[in-house]
Amino acid sequence: MKMAEHALPSLLPRAPVSGVGGWVLRFLRLENPGALAQRTYFWTALSGGCFSASSLVLLVLIVRLLGEHGPYWGGVFSIALAISQQLITIGLFQMRPFQVSDVDEAYSFSDYLVSRALTVGLMAVAGAAWIVAGGVGRDKAIAVLLLLALRAGESFSDVFEGRYQQLGRLDIASKGMFYKTILPLGLFGVALWITRDMFAAFAWMALLYWLLLLGMDGLLIPSFARLTLRTSLRKQRQLFLACLPIATNAFLFIYLNNLSRYVIDALLDERRMTEYNALFMPSFLVILLSSFVLRPALTPLALSSKAGDASGFRRQIGHQLAWIVAFTVPTLLLAYVWGAPLLSLLYGIDLTPHRTALCLLIAGGAFIAVYYVFQSVLIIRRHQAACLLGIVLAALASHTFTPFAVRNYGVVGGAASFFCSALILSLIFITLTAWNVRATSPERSLHHGNA
C-alpha cells in the first residue's frame, strides 16, 4: 500500500505563535512533517480506530458503571446515539468528500465554513422537531440534545479537517481528530464514575470537545486559509444544491443503517436494545479497517479521474475491494469462534446466544464497506443523483422486511434485516457505477460520434 506523493502547497504567511499555541503547532507538526505518507497512514488508522471504538467504549462504561440500571441506560444511550448519527448527516451535509476532491478550488474555505454553519443550524432545528414529533421519552430526549451538542462540534471540526486534507495534510486532520476523540472520551469516563449521572458526563464531554476545537483548529487554520465569512448567496446556493443529493443519500443511508435499531426500540425493551447495540458495534470493524485505505485514496482517485487515467482509476478501486475481502474473512472467523463470549465478558451481559446475529452484522458491515467504495467513485465523478437513486431503492426494499423480521425473530431478525439491507445496497451501487463508467467511457463516446 503506497500513498501517492503530491507537492504540498506552501502554508500561508502568519504572525509567529509563541507559548502554548506555538507548542501545539509544533506538536501537530505543522511544518517539517517528515515522512508524510507514513504519518498520514498512522494517524488515519489511529484516529479512525479511536473514533469508531468510542461508541463501544461509551456503551461499556454506561452498562458497567451504572450497575443494575446499566442495561436501561444503555438502551437510552443506544437509541439516542442512533438518532444523533441520523441528524449529524444534516450537519455534515456530506460535504467532506466534495471538499477534499475540489482540487480546482471552485469554492473557497469561507464558502465551506459558512455552509457548515447553516447546516449545523438546520441540524439543531431537525433535532428539536424529532424530539417534539417523535414521541421520545424525557430521558431519551435529554440524551439526544446532549449528543447533538457534541455532534455540532464534530460538524465544525470536519470542515477544518477537510481543508487540511484538501491541501495534502490529512496527517494533521487525523492527529487532531484523535485527540478530540480520546480526551473527551476519557473525561466522560471520569465524570460518569464520579457522578453516576450519564447526562452530566455527556455535558462535560461536549464542553471539552468544543474547547479542543477552538484551541487546536483555531490555531491551525490561519496557515491553510483566510478565516473569513465572505461568501455569496450564489455560491451558497450552488454548494447546497451540489451536495444536496449526497447529503440526502447520507441521511437515507443512516436511516437504512439504523432501521433495525429503530424497530427494536419500538417493539422491544431497553435491555434488548442494549444487547442489539452491543452486537451491532463490531459490525463497523471492517468498515473502519477499509476506511484506513479509502480515505487517503480519495484525492488520488479524484486526480486520476480528472486526468482521464481509466486504468489507474480502476486499479485503485480494485485495491479497495481487495482490502475489504482481506479484512472481512479473518474478522468473521474470529467473531464466529470468540466474538460472543468476548462481548459478554466486555459488557457484563450474556450475549452468547447471539453468535449468529453477530456474524450477520459483521458480514453486513463488509457489504457496507463495498457500498462506501462505489459511493465515493460516483461522488468523485460528480454523479450525486445516482447515489440518491440507489439509496432510495435500497431503503424501499428494506422497509418491506425489517419490521416483520424484528417482530417475529427479535434480535437475530434485526441482524438478518441489516445484512439483507447492506447486500441490496452494495449490489445497487455496483450496478450504478458499472453503468456510469460504461456510459461515459471514451470508446462508447467514439462509437456514438460524441468524441
| Residue 258 within any structural domain of the chain | no
pLDDT of 3 strictly over 60: no
For 19-74, the pLDDT digits (tens) are: 888 898 888 888 877 788 889 889 988 998 899 889 999 999 999 999 999 999 99
Note whether residue 167 is domain-resident. yes
Same domain, 154 and 61: yes
Among the three residues 206, 231, 256, which one is the final residue of a domain in this structure?
231
The answer to whether position 19 is within a domain reads: no
Q: Are 112 and 118 in contact (CB under 8 A)?
A: no
Quick one: 358 and 417 in the same domain? yes
Domain count within the chain: 2
**Residue 183 shares a structural domain with residue 273:** no
Tell me the pLDDT band of 5, cut-offs 50, 70 and 90.
Answer: very low
Closest CA to 11 of 160, 164, 173, 227: 164
> What's the mean pLDDT in 308-337?
84
> What pLDDT does residue 341 have?
94
Using a pLDDT cut of 70, give the percent of the chain over it: 92
Verify that 174 and 85 share a domain, yes or no.
yes
For residues 433 and 334, membership in a common domain is answered with yes
- Is residue 295 domain-shared with residue 204, that is, in the same domain? no
Of the listed ranges 118-127, 242-251, 353-362, the least confidently predicted one is: 242-251
Residue 446 has pLDDT above 70, yes or no: no
Cell of 271: 435491555
How high is the pLDDT of residue 233? 95
Average pLDDT over residues 398-418: 94
Q: Give 148-188 pLDDT, tens digit per residue.
A: 999 999 999 999 999 999 998 999 999 999 999 999 999 99
DSSP of 347-406:
HSS--GGGHHHHHHHHHHHHHHHHHHHHHHHHHHTT-HHHHHHHHHHHHHHHHTTHHHHH
Using 50, 70 and 90 to split pLDDT, how confident is the model at 299? low
What pLDDT is attached to residue 7?
56
Give the residue from 173, 146, 136 showing the smallest Cα distance to 48. 173
- Alpha-carbon distance values, 249 to 79, 94, 363 (Å): 21, 9, 22
Q: Containing domain of residue 91, as a range?
A: 34-231
Nearest-5° Cα angle at 324, 37 to 46:
40
pTM of the model: 0.85
Residue 333 neighbours by CB under 8 Å, 6+ apart: none
